[in-house]
Amino acid sequence: MSVIVVRYGEISLKSHSVRRRFTEKLMENIQNALLKAEIEGYLEEERGRIFVFTDNRKAVNIIKNVFGVVSVSWAKSTDSDMDRIAELAISIFRCRKGSFAVRATRTGNQPYTSQELAAFVGEKILENCGDLNVNLRKPDFELFIEVRNSRAFVFTEKVKGVGGMPLGTQGTIASYMRDGSDLISAWMLMKRGCNVLFPEKSEKDLKSCAERWGAVPTSGSMKDILKKESVLALCTGRIEECLKKSEVPVLCPTAGLSDEEMGKMLELIFS
């Protein structure tokens, strides 16, 4: 079975208890995203990494869009023995032509350094793959090796994730979800861990996109939502609404963004 290496960022800076809670929430969100996509897999966690064991490569595109995930890699795993790592690397590069570089990192106690591992694996690839040559600056292909204690993970790319904090680690806010600027504002606060509620009668495309990212359509008007739900704030894409009287604080995270920046964010959100 293959494994997806999941990396997170800001969570690792938190205190032990907060880091534990946020990591558990991130794992729960990843598992729920996979279940929604009907993808089977099981998760393991080590400090700084989450490992998703699955044979379905489509899981990469699902996991990279989970808030809190910085990057993901589709990988093969083996033990930390240098020869076993080299065998796996050769099997990956055997039919390739061009230049390559080996990038190795490690955590734990191994009888070799990261540089020694990279040099050893690179030499074995050269011996067994005649159509390849080394180029450390601008290679055609990169081979990444992550050794973590007794296990090693070998992969060829790092797919950028959406980043931020896990959804559900902060309070609940409400959004009118009337247009693209409202959607961007809601998305930006979801990226900071906030749950978002919005009127279920919102425009179809906005509703569908917001739900895909984890926002929750709610029955009734905005007044009903503010009255019935434990909403801490209201988010908007219209800065003038921050000056109006409101039962709860009004947040406008898009304030200061240019039209070009807003357009790029909408492309990302709808992609």
pLDDT for the residue 241: 85
Min mean pLDDT across 91-105, 138-152, 183-197 is at 91-105
Return the closest-CA partner of residue 261 out of 227, 231, 240, 237: 237
> Average pLDDT of 242-254?
89
For all residues of the chain together, what is the average pLDDT? 93
Residue 1 pLDDT greater than 70, yes or no: no
pLDDT for the residue 227: 87
> Average pLDDT of 121-126?
93
Return the closest-CA partner of residue 13 out of 70, 83, 52, 54: 70
Residues 117 and 82: beta-carbon distance below 8 Å: yes
pTM of the shown model: 0.91
> Average pLDDT of 29-41?
95
pLDDT for the residue 30: 97
pLDDT for the residue 154: 97
> Average pLDDT of 213-239?
91
Domains parsed from the chain with CATH numbers: 3-78 (3.30.70.1510), 81-149 (3.30.2300.10), 172-270 (3.40.50.620)
Residue 262 pLDDT greater than 70, yes or no: yes
> Average pLDDT of 229-246?
89
pLDDT for the residue 132: 86
Residue 94 pLDDT greater than 90, yes or no: no
Residue 185 pLDDT greater than 90, yes or no: yes
Show Cβ contacts of residue 192 under 8 Å, excluding neighbours closer than 6 positions: 164, 165, 170
Report the alpha-carbon distance of residue 221 to residue 215 in Å, rounded: 16
pLDDT for the residue 42: 93
Percent of the chain with pLDDT over 90: 80
